[in-house]
């Protein structure tokens, strides 16, 4: 191939290089980047944690609060968490400039307050999830702030009273 | 040798060596993509070299399989100081899908501990998440390694609002 022909091809193609840091990146509408969790919508139910293939999302209870942690360094950007979230709190963004000098910078935490049993004070689950349950079924309101043990006791007592047992 | 002075000297025209520690080759294809005229990382003087002895930066992909571990340690040992590492992809950053399997180490973080035990010091690491990483993310990570751009992500802890 002669030099003239190469020159002609180069002139026809023009400049193809994208000047990325000085020009917006080439993002398609289908592109999935890091996910963002809306703190005002999240219940802390843990559905995203169960479905996350590489366990980038983890949830743990310390006895005082419940922490939902998102480690973007392990995320494979599949978007399954956003699909499964019952509260619609997870949004897939187009953020890809996630480079960091330490892996600690790649972790984001969401701290939920823990609701406690009104009888014994044992931790039940996050306050946000209990609020969501009350919204979905109003009859649950008097049972909602109880731990499973005391909820069972109260239910048994109610059934017994209805069947004609003597109250204490 | 003054490492701090040498680190300050590495600001442009870095030579990179591409080290695959058992990745699926998606990140490696994206590295090639970043070197093509379309994204053209040579605008910043980045040049791919064939030996770690010539390299300023190692582009590190893969979750470090047990088979590749001794070779990876030898390659990083062969690099002259200051040793700069660009850990690319979810596998190299946090282990990715394979973070707790028996046959991988689970990312560069664990490898760094092994390197420190065997007396190999790494001077600067930049982690670039992505599965696979976009060529633009590789360019961004390289510029962050050279100190040309600011880091955007920070660790955060948000409390859920009441009511």
A168 pLDDT above the threshold of 70: no
Binary contact (B93, A42; C-beta < 8 A): no
Binary contact (A73, B160; C-beta < 8 A): no
Enumerate the domain spans of chain B: 12-145
Find chain B residues with C-beta within 8 A of A18's C-beta: 38-40
Q: B113 at the A interface (CB within 8 A)?
A: no
Binary contact (B155, A54; C-beta < 8 A): no
Q: A98 at the B interface (CB within 8 A)?
A: yes
Measured over the CA atoms of residue A99, residue A100, residue A104 and residue A108, the dihedral's sign is: negative
**Among candidates B17, B24, B84, which has minimal Cα distance to B46?**
B17
**Residue in chain A nearest B142 by alpha carbon:** A99
What is the value of ipTM here, to two decimals?
0.88
Reading the block at residue B43, the tokens are 């605008």
- Alpha-carbon span A84 to A43, nearest angstrom: 13
- Alpha-carbon span B122 to B124, nearest angstrom: 6
- pLDDT given at position A111: 93
**Residue in chain B nearest A16 by alpha carbon:** B38
Instruction: Indicate the class that CATH gives domain B12-145.
Output: alpha beta
Q: A125 at the B interface (CB within 8 A)?
A: no
Residue-wise pLDDT for A127-137, tens only, equals 888 888 888 88
B1 pLDDT above the threshold of 70: no
Q: A149 at the B interface (CB within 8 A)?
A: no
pLDDT band at A167 (very low <50, low <70, confident <90, very high): low
Residue-wise pLDDT for A5-40, tens only, equals 999 998 998 888 888 888 888 888 999 999 999 999
Report which secondary-structure segment, H or E, holds B143.
Answer: helix B135-145
CATH of domain A27-162: 3.30.70.20
- Alpha-carbon span B108 to A65, nearest angstrom: 31
Q: A94 at the B interface (CB within 8 A)?
A: no
Residue-wise pLDDT for A71-124, tens only, equals 999 999 999 999 999 999 999 999 888 999 998 999 999 999 888 888 888 888
Q: A68 at the B interface (CB within 8 A)?
A: no
Binary contact (B160, A100; C-beta < 8 A): no
Enumerate the domain spans of chain A: 27-162
């Amino acid at each position: 191939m002669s030099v003239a022909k190469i020159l002609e091809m180069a002139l026809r193609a023009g400049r193809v290089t994208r000047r990325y840091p000085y020009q917006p990146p080439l993002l398609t509408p289908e592109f999935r980047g890091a996910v963002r969790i809306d703190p005002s919508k999240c219940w802390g139910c843990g559905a995203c944690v169960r479905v996350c293939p590489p366990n980038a999302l983890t949830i743990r209870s310390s006895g005082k609060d419940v922490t939902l942690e998102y480690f973007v360094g392990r995320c494979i950007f599949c978007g399954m968490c956003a699909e499964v979230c019952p509260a619609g709190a997870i949004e897939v963004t187009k953020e890809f400039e996630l480079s960091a000098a330490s892996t600690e910078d790649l972790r984001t935490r969401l701290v939920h307050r823990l609701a406690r049993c009104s009888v014994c004070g044992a931790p039940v689950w996050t306050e946000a999830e209990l609020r969501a349950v009350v919204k979905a079924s109003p009859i649950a309101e008097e049972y909602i702030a109880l731990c499973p043990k005391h909820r069972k006791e109260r239910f048994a007592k109610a059934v017994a009273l209805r069947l004609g047992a003597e109250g204490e | 040798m003054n490492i701090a002075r040498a680190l300050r000297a590495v600001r442009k025209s870095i030579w990179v060596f591409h080290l695959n520690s058992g990745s699926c080759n998606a990140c490696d294809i994206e590295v090639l993509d970043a070197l093509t005229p379309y994204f053209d990382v040579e605008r910043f003087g980045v040049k791919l070299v064939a030996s770690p002895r010539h390299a300023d930066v190692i582009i590190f992909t893969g979750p470090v399989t047990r088979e590749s571990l001794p070779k990876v340690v030898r390659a990083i040992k062969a690099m002259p100081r200051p040793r700069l590492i660009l850990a690319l992809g979810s596998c190299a950053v946090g282990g990715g899908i394979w973070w707790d399997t028996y046959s991988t180490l689970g990312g560069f973080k664990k490898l760094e501990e092994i390197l420190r035990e065997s007396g190999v010091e790494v001077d600067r690491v930049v982690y670039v998440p992505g599965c696979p990483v976009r060529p633009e993310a590789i360019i961004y990570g390289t510029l962050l390694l050279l100190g040309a751009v600011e880091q955007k992500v920070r660790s955060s802890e948000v409390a859920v609002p009441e009511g």
